[in-house]
Each structure stands twice: as structure tokens, then as C-alpha cells.
Structure 1
């Protein structure tokens, strides 16, 4: 029996279902990626019209380096000197001086013997976890989707422990130890800064539990790279205890790509066994050069970032909003998904981009605005954002 064309793929029905559940999303192109931008005049997208320049409070460009002229100049110079693209897998003919220079700088930043740049943070996670090929993986329940997918691809037995709960991890490892086979390889994997809750994993205690069972520890520093000196791992002096450090170049560093840092044998293994590295065109040289320059500039922006974060948090809490976490990511939790979407829409009308985050990205009943102040936001822009959020909250009925 032959299948009819399109059998089983009613995509319009799937889209209608998303619409009914308040889960359908659309693209809203901007003409810039810095802390402020105009909505692009794309008639196919029909974006809202703003009377003035909009202010972006939902990007991961925490240090404002995506719009820094010095970072752009480094990218432009690399494009002219090396080329706009690597042209091939780095194991073929795509390995350039820009890659090697960035990797030396990343290794120094992370206190590691060596680093390896991937085309994205997602590729770094899925490729690394699968290439390590552990027998058992212990994974925080709120780990990023790229970690979750890497765990799936690995084929390992998976144990999910309660979010940032070391007792839950310890209990899970103890139970598994009772039935473990000789020589099993165990991997504990966690984000350091969680991108939706804005909290930090208890890394020292996690390392303690992992050490008790001879497990490796892998930490994804995507939202910590650049914001903290050496990431959370470096700031907490855990470099010697964390076996695998990951990060991204596309958030606080304002470029594109991902990386892994660790021992020489780790990196040698990954460049031979991580399929997302072996079978992917190398990171674009301009992105590599931009990230390296951003690493040099990051320290000068950190104080401004934390001052802006404190100002926004204090303002939101004074209004009565429930603000989670204790980092530069500020989840403003309102609970109901419709209320979160309504807040998002009213803020857009006021020229503030602060996206609503809904299930399945976050658990049911915890829909929120995800605010991410940047080091380059001015006092006037922060005042404008806070005033708009207060007015929107009163209109929607969450204040």
C-alpha cells in the first residue's frame, strides 16, 4: 500500500492546536541586536509600529558587546584577512589561525589545558555528551534543551534529579550504586546559571557528590561566560574539579558559536569523536575573532551590568512583582500564560521588548517575563522599562 501525499502531516492542524493553547510563536525581526533597536520594516511580518526606538530587555547580550564597535572591528578584520567562512570542516581544510587564537584565549579564560570551538553552543553540548558515551548520566531537571538532547543522543541510562537539589542527586547516585556494574562511567551534567530561573547550581556540592562515586562533572556555562571571571566555575575556584566546561560565544560575548574546555585528552577525543564538530563546517573566522576581542573587553562591562541588574530588580520588587533568581537573569513570574502574553504585548506597544516565556519552556503555572538588563542600558531606558512594566501590570491585573 502506498502512502498518499502528506499522509499524517497535517501541519495546519498542529499550528491551530498551538494557537488554541497559546503556544504559537512568531518572528519579530529587528534592525540591530544591541540594547536598543528599531523593528525592521518587513511587510511580511507586520511588526507593531513604535513612536520611538524600542529598548531590548530580553536579549542574552548581557554586556552589550554585540553592538560594540571594537568587537565589530575585530570581526571585520578577520573577514578581510581570513575570510567570511571557514569553508570546510576543521578536520579537512577549515582550521584557521582565528580558531587557534580563540581557543588559546578560551583555555586561559577557563583555566584549562585546551579548548575547542564548535559552531554553536547546542552543537558543543550534543556532540560532547554523545562523544563521552557515558553509561549513566545524572541530569538536573531544568537543564537546557541542548543538554537534554545530548543526553538522548548518548544512549546512556538517564537519571533526572530535582533542580539544584544536591540531596536528590546524592540519593539518586546512592541508589544507582547499589545496582551498578563494574567499571560503569558516570557523568553529572548541569547548567551553572539557569537561563529561565536565573539561579546558580550548587557546583561545589555537586562536585563533592560526584567525587564520592568517581563520576565526572560537566558544567554548561552558557549564561555565565563573560559575566563572571572564568565563569561560575572559575569564580568559585572549581576549575580543577570540573572535568568538562562548556560555554557559548553568542550571549555575553556577543558573537556566535560554542566551546568546550578541559584536559588535552578530552579535547583530542572530541575533535575526533564529536560528530557535531567532525561533520560540521568550522566556526566562521569573524565570529571567532569577535569572541576573542569580547573576552578582552568583558571585565570593563561587568560592574555596569550588575548595577543595572540591581536597579531593575529593586524597582520590580518595589512594585510587588515576584522576581526569581539571584543573577543577571530576572524572571518576573506571573503564573498564568495569558497574563504573561498580555504583559508582553502591552510592553511591545510601549516600545519595550521583554518576552513572555510560557510552557513548555517553563513548567505550567510559572509563565513569566524574562528580563535581561544589559551593561549598556542607560538610567533613562531602565526608568522607561520599569514605568512600562508597572503600567502594564496594572492594566493586566497582576499588580
Structure 2
């Protein structure tokens, strides 16, 4: 009989040979410090590891351990239940979901918001539901945006990263095609890019889109909760009335799980009925919705955002003073190394000094641009930041980068 299956062992071996195999290393908690099992798939971290400082998490505001957020999740579990139990359109719609969506809409300056089971589901579900004829997508957009574009069946135009001029040129070229007047166009971009730390020029992107009648969709996954009044870059730049579709995640600064879309009444009502990743998924767990809602409240009304940005400024200044090149202009601090092996060695040297900062290498980033991705949280104190900088100095000298 013919073997028409899949040689997965060979595929894994190929990854291993190319130094691309990833492994799991469980941690004892999600916080600014923790114990990690040694990869691959090591034993219990508390039994076979030393505590390390974590400068690698998207838990930007450090709220996963906040007592108020944890209490909100406990209360939701006790009063509503641990899971939604069904699609929101069946019996999985609860008061906890509506409280979260009300606060998200208020924060994002939108009529309504809709919570999805993940940010990935929000992107894929929204793009496919809109069924655009043409999508104009930043070349470094997240995989969930890329997959949403593919599944939508749209023609996809990739424009240069954060380059509104290139976007406008591509819009103009598309406008000259026969039949273009009858098409629906969508411009899609992340606001903060997770591997480069760059921030999209949203105002000029909106200018270009409006010139040609295209809608604008912005994914604020790495920005929600961190900017003006707990919003994202859209709020910081006063663009809520110019961005047609605002997306984000609840799993980063909001210390929970899930995603959301915010926009006008018609958009949300349509997605409730036609976004397959919403309609055919069990509703977001009430515990996750309650945790995110409380985290958003803390982000809006507390001082955690200010503490995060102070740590970001201290780290960037210290790294650049040593001679490192730090990319971007957000809370994500990619330290450019270049060579893949040097980046891995630098990450190992930093880890040996009790600080966890991952090496990002091809194919995640282009060849020759390997880097260390540094992500502080609001709960790192000044001693933690100094320890991180000292680890970078000692490891950099050891590897021969400094």
C-alpha cells in the first residue's frame, strides 16, 4: 500500500539541523521573575532551575499577578462560571462579556466592541467577514493578519514597512485598474510591531486611505492599555474617528486571554452575525473577560503605565550608552546583533547571569538582523533594570559584541 501520510520525524530533524527547532520550557508563574524548566521539555521548574528575571514577556503592565485582577477572575468564576459553555449566540453570552465590551468601546472611542476567544480569531474573523476585494497590508503585519488576508480570498498588496508613501503609490496603481471603482479596499496594519518595536505612522496611513476611499483597520495588540487613557496608538494620536476597525488583544497588557474588535454599531452587528471565528466558537471564558475588564480599569486609572515607560526609558538609555543599537520607539526594545550565532550566544550569556531575554533569529526576522528582544514590565523595580543592564554588559563583552 502507498504511504500517503506525513514524515513528521524528518520535518523535525530538518528543523533541528537548521537550528530552527523550538522547544517548550514551562514556568512556575507569569511575572517579572520566575523559575523555568530547562529545555527541551524539562522537569518541574521549581525542582530543577534557578529563579531568573524575565525581560521577555508581553505582560507589559505586570497585571497577571495584580490582586485586583485575580480577584475579578475569582469572582466571575464563582458567580458566572469558569467557562461560557457555548457560543455567545447560543447560551454563552453573559453580563461579564457585556461589561468588558462596554469598557473597551469607551476606551477606544467606539460605539461598540466585541470580544473574541483570541486576538488571532479577531483578525481572521474580521477580515474574512468583511470580504474585501483588495487588502493593503504592511509587510511586517502579524501572522493572524496574513492568514486573514489569505482566507478572505482578497488580492493582497504588500507595502513597505511603515511606509505611507509606498502605500499611497500602491493605492494609486490599483485605482487605475479597470473595475477598481466597484471594489472594496481595506488597509491593514499593526500599530506597534512586536519584533521591531516600531510604531506605524497611522495619521499618514489614514490620509492615504481616505484619498482613495479605503477603510483602515488597525491591530493594537501590543498597544492596548499602554497609551492615552488606557487606549492604544489610535487614542494617543486622536484617530478613533478615522480608523474604521480597531482590534486588539486581552492577552498582553490586559493580563488575560482573548481579543476584541471595536467600531461603529453596524460593524459590530455584522461581525456578531457573520464572523465565523465568533459565531462558531465558544464564548470567551467569563474569568478571562472579568480579568481583562479589571486590568483595563487599572490601566486607565492607575500609575502602571507611567511605571512601564520609566523602565523603558531607563533600559533604552542604558543599552544605547553601552554601544548597543536599539530599534523601534515603543515599549519593545529589540537589541540588534546581526549574526544569528552571536545573538544566540548573547542570549545564553545573559541567561547565565540570571536574566531571560530571547534571541529572535531567521526566519522570524530577515537574515543578518538577529536580535535580542527586551520587554520590561511595570513591575520591574530599578534594581531589576540595573541587573538586566549589567547582564547585557558582561555578556556582550564575553561574546565580543561590546
What TM bracket, shorter-length normalisation? over 0.9
Structure 1 stretches of 5 or more lacking a match? Answer: none
Distance 1:312 1:273, change over 3 A: same
- 3-state DSSP class of the match of 2:182? coil
Aligned match of 1:118: 116
TM-aligned CA deviation for residue 346 of structure 1: 2.1
Aligned match of 1:376: 379
Residues 78-119 of structure 1: CA distance to partner in whole angstroms, max 9, x if unpaired?
A: 010100100011111111111011000100010000000000
- 3-state DSSP class of the match of 1:187? strand
Q: Distance in 1 between matches of 2:178 and 2:337?
A: 43
Aligned match of 1:276: 277
TM-aligned CA deviation for residue 42 of structure 1: 9.6
Distance 1:40 1:50, change over 3 A: closer
TM-aligned CA deviation for residue 285 of structure 1: 0.3
- 3-state DSSP class of the match of 1:312? helix
Distance 1:60 1:266, change over 3 A: same
- 3-state DSSP class of the match of 1:241? coil
Matches within 5 A, 1:179-328: 179-181=177-179, 182-229=181-228, 230-299=231-300, 300-328=303-331
Instruction: Check conservation: 1:225, 1:248, Cα contact below 8 A.
Output: yes
Aligned match of 1:38: 35
Instruction: Check conservation: 2:72, 2:291, Cα contact below 8 A.
Output: yes
Distance 1:51 1:280, change over 3 A: closer
Aligned match of 1:78: 76
Structure 2 stretches of 5 or more lacking a match? Answer: none
Aligned match of 2:11: 14
TM-score, normalised via structure 1 length: 0.96
TM-aligned CA deviation for residue 44 of structure 1: 4.5
TM-aligned CA deviation for residue 28 of structure 1: 1.1
Q: Distance in 2 between matches of 1:43 and 1:189?
A: 37
1:342 aligns with 2:345: yes
- 3-state DSSP class of the match of 2:239? coil
- 3-state DSSP class of the match of 1:242? coil
Instruction: Check conservation: 2:113, 2:268, Cα contact below 8 A.
Output: yes
TM-aligned CA deviation for residue 350 of structure 1: 2.0
TM-aligned CA deviation for residue 206 of structure 1: 0.5
Q: Distance in 2 between matches of 1:99 and 1:302?
A: 24
Q: Distance in 1 between matches of 2:290 and 2:29?
A: 20
Instruction: Check conservation: 1:110, 1:234, Cα contact below 8 A.
Output: yes
Instruction: Check conservation: 1:50, 1:351, Cα contact below 8 A.
Output: no
Residues 338-385 of structure 1: CA distance to partner in whole angstroms, max 9, x if unpaired?
A: 111112222222221111111121111111111001111011111111
Shifted more, 49-58 versus 15-24: the winner is 49-58
Distance 1:212 1:3, change over 3 A: same
Q: Distance in 2 between matches of 1:293 and 1:44?
A: 34
Instruction: Check conservation: 1:120, 1:258, Cα contact below 8 A.
Output: yes
Distance 1:174 1:349, change over 3 A: same
1:24 aligns with 2:21: yes
- 3-state DSSP class of the match of 1:78? helix
Q: Give aligned pairs, total.
A: 396
Instruction: Check conservation: 1:28, 1:47, Cα contact below 8 A.
Output: no
TM-aligned CA deviation for residue 53 of structure 1: 2.2
Give 4+ residue runs of structure 1 displaced > 3 Å after superposition.
40-44, 46-52
Shifted more, 357-366 versus 48-57: the winner is 48-57
- 3-state DSSP class of the match of 1:348? helix
